[in-house]
């Protein structure tokens, strides 16, 4: 689907500041993008609920019969490699190719790439079929995708700071945005680097918060033309809401519940006031 009339047609040279992030949220709420999610079975409900709470329209279409057709009518497509199977891997390849033909942006979340060979090969195949608009991962995953060594399991053993130079190379290589999640999120299109400093350690005590971030990036990629702005807006929305949720939480259970509440309550005004963008 081409960018809708309500999309923000930000030029890539416009600054990514707090107001631009707030405007992206306003655009998302004004025209909820249809977000096709081919994600892992662990986080599918959570991902759908995060997208709904933020204001997007999730659709978990991940079978090989329908994935390609649906990608062509989506606003954005998420491919998350958390629990791939032969069936869903075929659906992912079909969806990504179809998205490319239809001009629909897609986001790759390369969960545990580098740790396991099969999904690492799958990630490379997906990128080769159609370069994603955004790749979002932790530092270990990004280093592994760039050809370095991987982490152990799904948690990162490297820091976002360590990965940012590699991320820039990876971004230029594929003409994509690379978002490295961490206590400070580093996002780059190979030239520009955006650093965002919201969020709370509680985010690592709930499964799928990073996965939900990838989904939000696919949502914002459906409403703003600049993938770096889309990735930054998703990151800001999730982490500013997380800051609020952490205040009212007793632990990871109530934090997850509160995060959905805060995402739904988040206004562009609150986002602009509270987002912390660091100077490079």
For a second copy, the binding residue among 15, 175, 183, 251 (CB under 8 A) is 251
Nearer to a second copy, 152 or 269 (CB): 152
Kindly indicate which of the ranges 21-29, 83-91, 170-178, 229-237 contains the residues binding a second copy, using the contact rule CB under 8 A.
83-91
Nearer to a second copy, 122 or 146 (CB): 122
d(CA 34, CA 271): 23
Burial class (CB in 10 A: 0-12, 13-18, 19+), 265: exposed
153 binds a second copy (CB under 8 A): yes
247 binds a second copy (CB under 8 A): no
For a second copy, the binding residue among 154, 169, 184, 193 (CB under 8 A) is 154
For a second copy, the binding residue among 6, 12, 69, 269 (CB under 8 A) is 69
d(CA 76, CA 116): 27
Q: Side by side, which strands form the sheet with 57-59? A: 57-59, 34-38, 76-80, 106-109, 134-138, 177-181, 185-188, 193-196, 277-278
Widest CA span in the chain:
47
Smallest distance, a second copy to C-beta of residue 256, A: 7
262 binds a second copy (CB under 8 A): yes
For a second copy, the binding residue among 25, 28, 62, 200 (CB under 8 A) is 62
Smallest distance, a second copy to C-beta of residue 53, A: 5
70 binds a second copy (CB under 8 A): yes
Smallest distance, a second copy to C-beta of residue 12, A: 30
For a second copy, the binding residue among 3, 148, 257, 274 (CB under 8 A) is 257
* String marking each residue 20-49 x if it binds a second copy according to CB under 8 A: --------------x-----xxxxxxx-xx
Q: Which residues bind a second copy (CB under 8 A)?
A: 34, 40-46, 48-49, 52-53, 57-63, 65-66, 69-70, 73, 82-87, 112, 115-119, 152-155, 205-208, 249-254, 256-265
């Amino acid at each position: 689907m081409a960018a809708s009339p309500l999309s923000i047609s930000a030029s890539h040279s416009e600054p990514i500041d707090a107001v631009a992030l707030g405007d992206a949220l306003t655009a998302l709420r004004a025209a909820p993008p249809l977000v096709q999610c081919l994600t892992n079975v662990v986080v599918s409900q959570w991902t759908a609920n995060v997208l709904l709470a933020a204001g997007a329209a999730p659709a978990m279409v991940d079978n090989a019969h329908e994935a390609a057709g649906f990608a062509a009518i989506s606003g954005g497509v998420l491919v998350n490699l958390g629990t791939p199977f032969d069936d869903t891997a075929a659906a992912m390849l079909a969806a990504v190719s179809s998205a490319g033909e239809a001009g629909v942006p897609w986001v790759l979340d390369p969960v545990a790439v580098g740790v396991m060979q099969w999904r690492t090969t799958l990630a490379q195949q997906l990128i080769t079929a159609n370069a994603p608009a955004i790749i979002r991962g932790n530092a270990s995953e990004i280093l592994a995708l760039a050809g370095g060594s991987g982490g152990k399991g799904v948690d990162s053993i490297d820091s976002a700071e360590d990965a940012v130079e590699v991320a820039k190379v990876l971004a230029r290589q594929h003409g994509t945005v690379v978002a490295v999640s961490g206590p400070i999120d580093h996002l780059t299109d190979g030239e520009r680097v955006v650093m965002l400093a919201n969020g709370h350690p509680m985010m690592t005590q709930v499964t799928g918060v990073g996965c939900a971030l990838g989904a939000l990036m696919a949502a914002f990629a459906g409403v703003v033309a600049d993938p770096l702005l889309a990735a930054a807006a998703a990151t800001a929305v999730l982490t500013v809401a997380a800051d609020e949720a952490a205040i009212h939480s007793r632990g990871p259970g109530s934090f997850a519940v509160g995060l959905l509440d805060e995402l739904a309550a988040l206004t562009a005004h609150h986002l602009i006031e509270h987002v912390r963008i660091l100077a490079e």
